[in-house]
Structure 1
């Protein structure tokens, strides 16, 4: 079964909008685990507009499932990951002013840089994933850079799902097959939800993990946190 990693950035966004510590991100993460999530994802950005670097340190000693830290490998982020040593680090080329991640790496152009960064993480025993678009030509360079996995940037799939789901998923299937050929595991994330997740999970070969935050937290407002996690897990079974 594909693992569900719950991204708790939106919990932190809600907290930060008011100040104080409500809702508490550590409590939210522990509840997500208790309700069945097999991982917790955070994406600290330099301006700390949602997850703060302090949150990452607070989460590490109490989590019992896989901990995935996403982000652009600037020096401060690299130092954080090496200090915390999560299960997985996902490298995302987001600009400092991006509202949310909106593109994957050009692994060919940036292979030398990625190889250097990945070597540092792997020396510390941290599994490394590279955030990529559904472009099979990006996969061999990701493998050559030393990645263990790629995370498919799934917004284009989600955007086009309603109009033609077969056409929407086709490049993702092709890219996942190329990842398998190159010996890489496959993760997925961005705009996956209760409508489009099941079809994605059923059709992507070797899909090991999805990380879902915005849609899951939004659904939880109406459906409850525990029930929502169970509904997402059901789509993955």
Structure 2
């Protein structure tokens, strides 16, 4: 059965809006775990716009499930990952001017570079994932890096403005899942998924986990974080293996 990992970046975004001490992403991570999440995601950006180094360190100490560290493929972030020792790192593209991650990592032509970057992490027993678009060339390149997982970017599907565009993006993701699995990769899905559009994957086999943050935190404003996480867990538990 696929599982849910919860991204707590948006809790830190709200805190940083006032540069204060609340709300506390460490508390949100604990509550998400208690409500059934099987992993916690934090994206430590180079500009530290939301999650801070102390958040990563504290969540590492208190996480009872799995810590997923999203990060750019930089020397600084590699050093932090080796020190923090998360269960999984997910390499993502990063632009200073973007509001949120806009697309997948470009792996084509960077296979050896990314393999060398991941090697020290793998040597420590840290598993890796690459956040990529559902593009056959990107999937093949990702497989060549030696990563165990790919997280297929679902943002274009989630943001599609009409039925035809949505179906086109969904079809590409479904083909991407098959292609990745045929190359021996484990598949996660994430970005822009919510309580409605995730239902398109109900009968889709081969997804290891769903990475969701914004939709859960948005619903939590109205119903509380515990229920918001439990409701998403309940949906995912009905999905195909």
- TM-score norm. by structure 1 comes to 0.95
Per-residue Cα deviation, 1:196-233 (whole angstroms, up to 9, x for no partner): 11212432x31111111111101111122111111111
Distance 1:96 1:74 in 2: 14
Report the equivalent of 1:200. 201
Once the two structures are superposed, the pairs formed by residues 55-66 of structure 1 within 5 Å of their partners are 55-66=55-66
Report the equivalent of 2:219. 219
Q: Mind listing any 5+ residue stretches in structure 1 that lack a counterpart? A: none
Distance 1:201 1:127 in 2: 26
SS in 2 for 1:227: helix
Distance 2:132 2:203 in 1: 20
TM-superposed CA distance for 1:85, in Å, is 0.8
SS in 2 for 1:57: helix
Distance 1:93 1:116 in 2: 17
TM-superposed CA distance for 1:161, in Å, is 7.7
Once the two structures are superposed, the pairs formed by residues 80-99 of structure 1 within 5 Å of their partners are 80-99=80-99
Report the equivalent of 1:123. 123
Per-residue Cα deviation, 1:87-136 (whole angstroms, up to 9, x for no partner): 11000011233221111122122212111111121011011000100112
Q: Mind listing any 5+ residue stretches in structure 2 that lack a counterpart? A: none
Per-residue Cα deviation, 1:8-45 (whole angstroms, up to 9, x for no partner): 00000111112331111111111110111111000011
RMSD over aligned CA atoms reads: 1.4
Report the equivalent of 1:33. 33
Distance 2:97 2:77 in 1: 16
Report the equivalent of 2:146. 146
- Work out the number of aligned pairs and report it: 236
- Contact kept, 8 Å, 2:42 with 2:69, in 1: the verdict is yes
Distance 2:72 2:96 in 1: 9
Per-residue Cα deviation, 1:54-77 (whole angstroms, up to 9, x for no partner): 210111011111110001111111
TM-superposed CA distance for 1:142, in Å, is 1.0
1:234 aligns with 2:230: no
Distance 1:201 1:103 in 2: 24
- Contact kept, 8 Å, 1:161 with 1:168, in 2: the verdict is no
